[in-house]
Structure 1
Amino acid sequence: MIAVNGTEPQNPLIPSNTNENGGGRIVDRLFAGLRYIDAGGALHDEVAQSIDTTDQQHYRIRLQPGWTFSDGTPVTAHSFVDAWNFGALVTNAQLQSYTYGPIVGFADVQADPPRAQTMSGLKVLDDLTFTVDLTAPTIDFRTRLAYAPFYPLPASAFRDMKAFGQHPIGNGPYRFANGDAWQHDVQLSLVPNESYKGGRPPRNTGLTFVFYSNFDAAYSDLLADNLDVLDTVPDSALPVYKKDLGDRAIEAPTAQNQWIGMQGNLAHFTGEEGRLRREAISMAVDRAQIGQKIFHGTRVPARDFTSQDLPGFNGTLPGSEVLQYNPDQARRVWAQANDIAPWSGKFEIAYNSDGGHQSWIDALANSIRNTLGIDAVGAPYPTFKQLRDQVVHRTIGKAFRYGWQGDYPTMLQFLEPSFLSTSDSNDSDYRNPRFDALIAAAEAAPDEQASWQLVGQAQQVLLHDLPVIPIFDYVNAAGYSKRVTKVVQTWNGLPDFENIELK
């Protein structure tokens, strides 16, 4: 078995309800979708034999024959259609339900109460064929078919979805190890799925995801060869990790970012007062200095809400000056907010202690405190799950650190989950019809260049409203032990798990 770092998943391992890193890296090993994304970000068909469309709106999908789940039951057209309908139905409250938004009938299953139980745009023609009708052409629909919410589920899942999520049965390259595979808050073990038929077969005998309370402990285990792969070197080790690890050190840009978020019920951060305060805080943060001093250049100042590593990125969008350090302007804008309502209290920034965030959050709070003259402090939570639970349930009551790690390589995938009015992953409670309309236009664009231009216009709306404050893009630092070889960092900063080999 190869030991890799991870965190306790926030929720049971149901693809349509997994929208965080700890669960996502496991779900992607357990399930295979119509398509998959390789380490370099290229897309390949997986369960799909063909995905045909002439207009990017109406699709006919044919599955390869012979696929089964790890319990031996066949993967059929119903496995996909039933899973998507479950994920979309409002009463199932799935965090990734927004991803089905383009499908005809999504509005009916999302109504309260729902006007239908299934989306009318999905039709099963036979065991291996189904059709998908979208409300409009959607430029990245074929790409998003590689994303977890579009994975299939066996019929057994629907008998007790909660229990299924504790011991999922998938069709991916791995399956749960026999026995106590998931030891909560400790580790989770996977072994190769003998029935897997796709293009990413495991080159190892299994993976153990070890749930660390902090990256310093993980790094110590890496140096002792007790952990085989660590995808995030802690900031305390950044000055020395290349010397420690030699040619086992990895550093490369990744499609991953870091934000500071605030929700609609946070005092002083609603309406125009809130917009001005977010703008002032953004200009009070010296991103370049923090990125260099704490992360030794492995974090670079954010220039938009996506990632510099994505196709179509534009780092000079009009309005992006609010992401630049400008202490004098920050103080002027803060005073304008005080004219609306005088500031009171302290500005707290929640973060998870098991993610190696204390140093940069403390530095960010210091930059805000020194610039604006307010009491700004970090607020630690022991685990990512505890932080996310309060964010999701709207009980956090303070600002919080979060961000996005790409699930498929488009700018739309960074923007739609976090800022669309219809998204259950919209943690900042942002609502702007103008933004929604521009994103819809970008999806319906005839080509990528036209789509990127509309994405830029949508981001200009975000730069004005600042629903979250972009802080960093990632240049990821990782490493591996002396026991393993063929360790590669993928386009979104995760290890290429299936191709790691023991020496």
Structure 2
Amino acid sequence: MTRRDGLKGLVGAAAVGSLLAACGGSDDEGAQDGEGGGAGAAVVANGTEPENPLLPSDTNEVGGGRIIQNIFAGLCYYEADGSVQNDLAESIETSDAQNYTIRIRAGQTFSDGTPVTAQSFVDAWNYAALLTNDQLQAYFFEPIVGYADVQADPPTAQTMSGLVVVDETTFTVALTQPEGDFPLRLGYSAYYPLPASAFDDMTAFGENPVGNGPYKLAEQGAWQHNVRIDLVPNDSYDGPRAAQNSGLAFVFYESQDAAYADLTSGNLDVLDQIPDSALTVFESDLGDRAVNMPAAIFQAFTVPQYMPGMSGEAGLLRRRAISLAIDRATICEQIFSGTRTPASDYTSPVLDGFSDSVEGNEVLQYDADQAKQLWAQAEAIEPFTGSLDIAYNADGPHQGWVDAVTAGLRQTLGIQSEGKPYATFAQLRSEINDRAIQTAFRSGWQGDYPSLYNFLAPNFATGGSSNDGDYTNPEFDALLQQGASTTDAAQAATLWNQGQTILFRDLPAIALWYQNVSGGSADTVENVRFGWDSQPLYYEITKS
């Protein structure tokens, strides 16, 4: 999930990352009163059942990410405006953007009382990168010297040679090339530290993680799968994100409508995504407690090129036809009531370097006649059979736009096209990750750190951690790396936007719109701020 400010000094950036989840059963009870923190009951917020056990290196979706961000602390974190602040880091220094010396604050501990050391970071990063551990976030360590060795099949090394522990509070990182925005990545959840106990049984640890952040799990069994998870303040955390409340209860709703009903009745304190049914009324319902502002969120749907009829020249013509057949402006206005803006690229307007005039982006403009012509050309090469369905998770606010898009495809292209609902986000992601899904599917991105690269590399680089359509183009990869290797932010943005021209030519995903953070809070809480990445700053919220 990313935004605004560029490199400020030599510090990292933190945010909840990755794939954009929707939200999901209603439960009116809050968490137990916490140990320390602010007075009063726990803050009740909406959430989604995490896709995987709560491991920083294996969580790349929002449901798990929002929890991990609160129970762990990284080298840095983001303020609401996207500005970068140190958390565990005392300093992050480099003279060449390729070799970094990182010093952490002394005396830090995990919630079990064991120390947070340089080794805690190095061990966690090595575990994340090792091929045999099969971690979803491994790709984030690709720039480090030795990554290729731990990713060989079978691995030729168990640890990356570019990571060296100097002393208890200092370690060094050597990259394979200069990477100007590397420091911006270091607060993302993939780079969080782990206690030594995690390595005894990583699966068990993921069910009951021990972190070093402002919160910890309330007790053994605090994670009630598919229902909720309860957090209490972590008294051993002494960083800048200290909890101002007595805990957090993330309730996993089956529908956004149920969550909104709980918000307006005072049974839910904070909601970060308004259902379609309430978009026209939530600002009047909530008054000054409503939030509707730009955020680093991009929405699309992926058309895997392994689908019948979607590869080769015919497939490319069809993907262009599909894109041209979507009336994004009308959908944004009629379904989303202005809380979305039609996309003009694959990143976000809140990022430095964003351009709304990337060459080739005219394919995002509605043109029914051209769409029909391109589809007919594809049919002449290879007839299309079956239905062009779009899979989505029904526990999020997606049915409305999916129905609108598929209706447009039926009307404009004269083909069969329907929405394919999955009950939960986790079920949808499981099929996508296993490459078992045989339809197009909703996709999107919520920034991890403030860089165009973060939107482009994980989603579209060869082997990217969230490249769910298995897209590959060496020319695009080369431009990504050229941009990453420069310390000139303007030059990097130019190169990455050149890379986007290739995406508009190949269309590995159909860009749809940018999403505002549309949410709000009940009158049960105060001091609610939503951040650059659309997530509330939960630790700041107070509840009497």
TM-score when normalising by structure 1: 0.99
- The residue correspondences of 1:380-399 to structure 2 (distance < 5 A) are 380-399=421-440
Matched, 1:110 2:137: no
Q: For structure 2, list consecutive stretches of 5 or more residues without a partner in the other structure.
A: 1-41
Choose the corresponding residue for 1:483, options 511, 524, 530: 524
Distance 1:5 1:446 in 2: 39
The Cα of 1:446 is off from its aligned counterpart by 2.8
Q: Following the alignment from structure 2 to structure 1, what is the Cα–Cα distance between the partners of residues 149 and 312? A: 31
1:444-465 deviation line (CA, Å, top 9, x unaligned) = 1131000000011111111101
Is the Cα–Cα contact under 8 Å of residues 294 and 517 in structure 2 kept in the other structure?
A: yes
In structure 2, the partner of 1:411 is: 452
Q: Taking CA–CA contacts closer than 8 Å with sequence separation of 6 or more, which of the two structures ends up with the larger relative contact order?
A: 2
Q: Deviations over 1:446-502 (max 9, x none)?
A: 310000000111111111011000101012211111100111110011111111111
Residues 1:36 and 2:82 aligned together:
no
Partner of 2:108: 67
Residue number in structure 1 paired with 2:161: 120
How far the C-alpha of 1:340 sits from its partner, in A, is 1.7
1:3-28 deviation line (CA, Å, top 9, x unaligned): 10010000001001100010011111
- In the alignment, the residues of structure 2 paired with residue 3 and residue 409 of structure 1 have an alpha-carbon distance, to the nearest angstrom, of 28
Counterpart of 1:150 in structure 2 is 191
Quote the offset at 1:39 in angstroms.
Answer: 1.1
Contact 1:251 1:476 in 2 (8 A): yes
**1:331 matched to 2:369:** no
1:133 corresponds in structure 2 to 174
Tell me how far 1:311 sits from its aligned partner.
1.1
Q: Report if aligned partners of 1:32, 1:151 keep a CA contact under 8 Å in 2.
A: yes
CA–CA distance in structure 1, aligned partners of residues 344 and 529 of structure 2: 27
Contact residue 139 and residue 443 of structure 1 kept, 8 A: yes
- C-alpha contact (below 8 Å) 2:99/2:174 kept by paired residues: yes
SS, match of residue 66 in structure 1: coil
Say whether residues 1:434 and 2:470 are aligned partners: no
Residues 6-25 of structure 1: pairs in structure 2 closer than 5 A: 6-25=47-66
Q: Residue 437 of structure 1: CA displacement?
A: 0.6
Q: Percent identity?
A: 53
Q: Quick one: distance in 1 between partners of 2:171 and 2:533?
A: 31
Q: 1:87, CA displacement in angstroms?
A: 0.3
CA contact (8 A) 1:215 1:232 kept: yes
Q: Distance in 1 between matches of 2:150 and 2:87?
A: 28
Amino acid paired to 1:337: A
Q: Distance in 2 between matches of 1:181 and 1:16?
A: 21
Deviation at residue 339 of structure 1 after TM alignment:
1.8
Please give the TM-score of this superposition, normalised by the length of structure 2: 0.91
1:495 aligns with 2:536: yes
Report deviation, 1:336.
Answer: 1.6
1: CA distance, partners of 2:238 / 2:308: 53
Report if aligned partners of 1:269, 1:278 keep a CA contact under 8 Å in 2. yes
Moved beyond 4 Å, runs of 4+:
none
Q: Deviation digits for residues 352-383 of structure 1, max 9, x if unmatched?
A: 01011101110011111111111111011110
Task: Return the offset for 1:422.
Answer: 2.5
1:289 aligns with 2:330: yes
**Do the aligned partners of 1:96 and 1:423 also contact (CA within 8 Å) in 2?**
no
Q: Which runs of 5+ in 1 are unaligned?
A: none
Give the aligned residue type for 2:109.
T
**Aligned equivalent of 1:210, options 237, 251, 271:** 251
Return the letter of the residue paired with 2:175. Answer: L
Q: Give, in whole Å, the separation in 1 of the partners of 2:304 and 2:331.
A: 25
Q: Does 1:230 align with 2:271?
A: yes
Matched, 1:474 2:515: yes
1:350 correspondence with 2:391: yes
TM-superposed CA distance for 1:416, in Å, is: 1.0
RMSD (CA atoms): 0.9
CA shift digits 1:315-340 (9 cap, x unpaired):
11110001111111111111121122
- Counterpart pick for 2:230 among 169, 173, 189: 189
SS at match of 1:314: coil
CA contact (8 A) 2:97 2:487 kept: no
Q: Give how far 1:347 is off.
A: 0.7
Contact 1:298–1:477 at 8 Å: present in 2 too? Answer: yes
Once residues 407 and 53 of structure 2 are traced to their aligned partners in structure 1, the CA distance between those partners, rounded to angstroms, is 37
Aligned-residue offset at 1:38 = 1.3
Distance 1:420 1:28 in 2: 25
What secondary structure, in the 3-state scheme, does the structure 1 residue paired with 2:85 have?
A: strand
Contact 1:263 / 1:394 at 8 angstroms: preserved in 2?
A: no
Aligned length in residues: 503
Helix, strand or coil at the partner of 1:404: strand
SS in structure 2 at match of 1:409: coil
Distance of 1:333 and 1:433 partners within structure 2:
26
Equivalent residue letter for 1:8: E
SS of residue matched to 1:403: strand
SS in structure 1 of the partner of residue 523 of structure 2: coil
Shift of 1:424: 3.1
